[in-house]
Structure 1
Amino acid sequence: MSPTPSPAEPSATPSAPSSATSSLRRLPKVPFWAQILAGLVLGVLLGWLARSADVDWLGTGLEKTGDLFVQLLKLAVAPLVFFAIAISITNLRNVSNAARLAGRTLLWFLATSLIAVSIGLAIGLLTDPGAGTGLTPEDGVRPESSGSWLDFLTGIVPTDVITPFTELKVLQIVFMAAVAGVAALKLGAKAEPLLAFGESVLALLQKALWWVIRLAPLGTLGLIGNAINQYGWDLIGQYATFTADVYIGCALVMFGVYPLLLALAARVSPVQFFRGAWPAIQLGFVSRSSVGTMPVTQKAVERLGVPKEYASFSVPFGATTKMDGCAAIYPALAAIFVAEIFGVSLGLQDYLLIVFVSVIGSAATAGLTGATVMTTLTLSTLGLPLEGVGLLLAIDPVLDMMRTATNVTGQAVVPVVVAAREKILDREKYDAATSFDLDDPDSGEDAARPVAAAVS
């Protein structure tokens, strides 16, 4: 007669998977910032290895990894900008004093750009970034395309509705989105089905973009590794003063000007702001795309107490026009750098032109990776050789990280300042805001549905 199994025996086998699952849950989770830092360090090491040991396959792998990450970000840019701008304009119908809020936002954009370009000019005049580099005019290469005021003004209006999306002409997309948004407001109830469709598409795009954002550690590895492999440390040494100027200028604006504005104009804690906005700032540094960072920036701004109705307008608006790093600090320093390389003396009128271009023409950068269009616009306005752009392209990826982080910070600061001054900022929510982990699947839920929440 076989022994009777004990009550514990039947449950012995099923308990094994449960035990394994519990063990997996106890594994420490690596914070997203640590993943990005690891990608940065590993990218530098692999880039150095690929260059020093001449490992072609490794260099190609780093290049393709970085390119793929940027391509995935750009894939969503055109439809994301269109629906974000169009829907955000229609959301203003739910905000009292909408025109006043929009006007105040634009004024603060212009004011902070003026401060940023002034800092860039001051640093450039004090340090002479083009002196002692060993570079000559022959080292420059004229860009295939350049920006001019005529191109800028006439290029706002598209010739058809397809080309802006296929060629990623963001300024034209913004124009069409603004027209569509205003038209929807005028239609009223007749436009409700179209608005509901637009909100659903925007939510879908932002959710898909959130998945791309979670690949940022790999993108960092590829982008940094490819930059080191392509250019090495010698090139960075040639541009040491210019690179330091850009980073110092951006740091002064990020950690000097913006905190002062928050403390004096908004009367809120700057430390608390950076605690809540840091995920967007770090992603901007890695992705080098203000538009690609837009869902995270909007989430951060809303968590800092800015009403969703206003945030869903101000953040997309800022992501395509508010560029203190790319369109203010950088063009000022680039103009001084190029003028010194080519032996051109700049006068007071030239410096005033730099200020004008930076404050008025910042929309030319349109939130995309890099600031080549803005640089060519500035150089052409001053009459400087456009071959100077070629001198700057080699070092651009290293500079663009800090520039974009500055852009994103400004895009988050202004809505907080405006909301505080208009007395619509939820100060309790602001004081309670904490950082959020971009690697947490649940952390994107609010950002994936900002517009739907705003109009509900």
Structure 2
Amino acid sequence: MSTSSSSAAAPEREPAPERARRLPKVPFWAQILLGLVLGVLLGWVARNWDIAWLGTTLTKVGETFVQLLKLAVAPLVFFAITISITNLRNVHNAARLATRTLLWFMATSLIAVAIGLVIGLLTNPGSGTGISAKDAAKPEEAGSWLDFLTGIIPTDIITPFTELKVLQIVFMAVVVGIAALKLGEKAAPLLSLGESVLALLQKALWWIIRLAPIGTIGLIGTAIKDYGWNLISSYATFTADIYVGCAIVLFGVYPLLLATVAKVNPLQFFKGAWPAIQLAFVSRSSVGTMPLTQKVTERLGVPKEYASFAVPFGSTTKMDGCASIYPAIAAIFVGEFFHVDMGIKEYLLIVFVSVIGSAATAGLTGATVMLTLTLSTLGLPLAGVGLLLAIDPILDMMRTATNVAGQVVIPVLVSAREKILDVDAFRNARSFSLDELDSDSGPRESAVREPAAATS
């Protein structure tokens, strides 16, 4: 009897090694927060104690993390957009969804640039900075409308990938995707290969994303080590303007749209989207964050086929932080610094450039191309870019977080308006661990094909 009892109970006991492996997992947001704190501390130590090896280590760690993200950008953008376009064949009312998505991209960009202009005009960020004109310098590369328009079309198929010209990669991906749709079954082997390559790239990028807390230490530490707090104080008004403007859009405009247009709970949105927003803050790369952005968008109830279209396009064109708020305030800063008067015409030009030219930022770290495009359109000195480059990494964190939040908001909003949002999934949204997101296969594939059956 005792043998029988013990054998019956044996399966219920967990092996000792298995119990030992079950250590409490630190949430991703906590890992990022710890990285931020350590980065600030180590950067401060390296700067104040002039510890060269520590400063070099922080720089190398940050550069390596960004380089790893950039390594996957070119093929990821190409295959993600190509496959997303071909997936539209499975989407009910695909043209309607695509059109509404692009219109909402433009509408929210218009709101963001208006907020940037109002903040800049109220605060006069270019006055009394204590910065001298000798700090100004023309950028090595400047954007122009001619370069923007002609630069979309590549001269060959190799250079865009080797030189990371994302806009040209997007152009080629769109052409290949539309051609594959027209070919139908003949393109099936190519699409199957593309889907496999995309899955491999996303898996590799997940491994890089897991390194984000370490990358955070290097990136934040380098910023503190190089610039300290004195630089921030010199640009205090400008820095505050960017952060306040982005915060108004991120925590004001987006929640208002979600509550009034999509009629969903904004708090639930932030619970689900927060992993992507915090990674964007650290990495300063919308494209590098794209796999995580798409995962959280699907977990918020957006059908997978539609999310696979909206998120990749948003990651390369939807830039409320970098392409709307930032160039508006930066143009006012440069105009005031060089004592150039601007009027209604110039402000309308800023709006036009921000709404139409946002794809020039291409989802990479920094927004220099967009800024030079804006300044050249307004006839402002391009040397003003040199004034802002030093502070740019600190500003870029908040800008990119705003970008990525907008890239999730619009698919949720459009899905809700089109009655294809899985409302139950949205209501149960929470901040997930990377393991959960990595293993999620996205079960809501049929919702976009049969909108009548979706929860409304």
- Distance in 2, matches of 1:158 and 1:230, equals 37
**Hey, what's the Cα distance between the residues in 2 that align with 1:220 and 1:448?**
29
CA distance in 2, matches of 1:309, 1:146: 37
Q: Deviations 1:143-188 (Å, cap 9, x if unpaired)? A: 1111000000000000000000000000000000000000000000
TM-score (ref. length: structure 1): 0.93
Distance 2:141 2:299 in 1: 41
Give CA deviations for 1:332-364 in whole Å, capped at 9, x if unaligned. 000011111111111110000000000000000
Counterpart of 1:148 (choices 121, 144, 151) is 144
Q: What is aligned with 1:364?
A: 360
With 442-451 and 68-77 compared, the bigger mean Cα shift is at: 442-451
* Corresponding residue number in structure 1 for 2:122: 126
Q: Does 1:55 align with 2:51?
A: yes
Q: Which residue of 1 aligns with 2:438?
A: 444
Mapped contact 2:273–2:405 kept (Cα < 8 A):
yes
Say if 1:146 and 1:373, in contact at 8 Å, map to a contact too.
Answer: yes
1:380-436 deviation line (CA, Å, top 9, x unaligned): 111111111111110111100000000000000000111111111111121122221
Task: Give the share of equivalent positions with the same residue, in percent.
Answer: 75
**8 A contact 1:285–1:405 mirrored in 2:** yes
- Aligned pairs (5 A) from 1:37-186: 37-186=33-182
Aligned position for 1:373: 369
- Of the three residues 340, 344, 356, the one matched with 1:344 is 340
Q: RMSD of the alignment, in Å?
A: 1.8
C-alpha separation in 1, matches of 2:21 and 2:201? 32
How do residues 14-413 of structure 1 correspond to structure 2 at under 5 angstroms?
18-19=15-16, 21-25=18-22, 27-413=23-409
CA distance in 2, matches of 1:447, 1:238: 48
- Larger mean CA deviation between 275-284 and 69-78 belongs to 275-284
> What are the within-5 Å matches in structure 2 for residues 407-422 of structure 1?
407-422=403-418
Counterpart CA distance in 1 for 2:442 and 2:198 is 8
**CA distance in 2: counterparts of 1:334 and 1:253, whole angstroms:** 17
- AA paired with 1:445? S
Q: 2:255 touches 2:266 (CA, 8 Å); kept in 1?
A: yes
Q: 1: CA distance between counterparts of 2:363 and 2:215?
A: 18
Is the Cα contact below 8 Å between 1:203 and 1:449 reproduced in 2?
Answer: no
User: Distance in 2 between the 1:24 and 1:423 partners?
Assistant: 44
Cα distance between partner residues in 2 of 1:449 and 1:83: 22
Please list the CA deviations of residues 309-344 of structure 1 after superposition, one character each: whole Å capped at 9, or x if unmatched.
100000001000000000000000000111111111
Are residues 20 and 90 of structure 1, via their aligned partners in 2, closer, same or farther at CA, if it must alter by over 3 Å? closer
Deviation at 1:130, TM superposition (A): 1.2
How many residues end up aligned between the 2 structures? 436
The CA deviation at 1:136 is 2.5
SS of residue matched to 1:147: coil
Q: Measure the CA separation in 2 of the matches of 1:82 and 1:392.
A: 31
How far the C-alpha of 1:450 sits from its partner, in A, is 10
Deviations 1:244-264 (A, max 9, x none): 110000000011100111111
CA change 1:450–1:210 in 2 (3 A) is farther
Question: More deviation in 308-317 or 136-145?
Answer: 136-145
Q: Name the TM-score, length of structure 2 as normaliser.
A: 0.93
Letter in 2 for 1:224: I
Measured at CA, do residues 450 and 332 of structure 1 come closer, stay the same or move farther in structure 2, by a change above 3 Å? farther
1:24: how far off? 4.2
Could you tell me which runs of 5 or more consecutive residues in structure 2 were left unpaired when the two chains were aligned.
1-13, 450-456
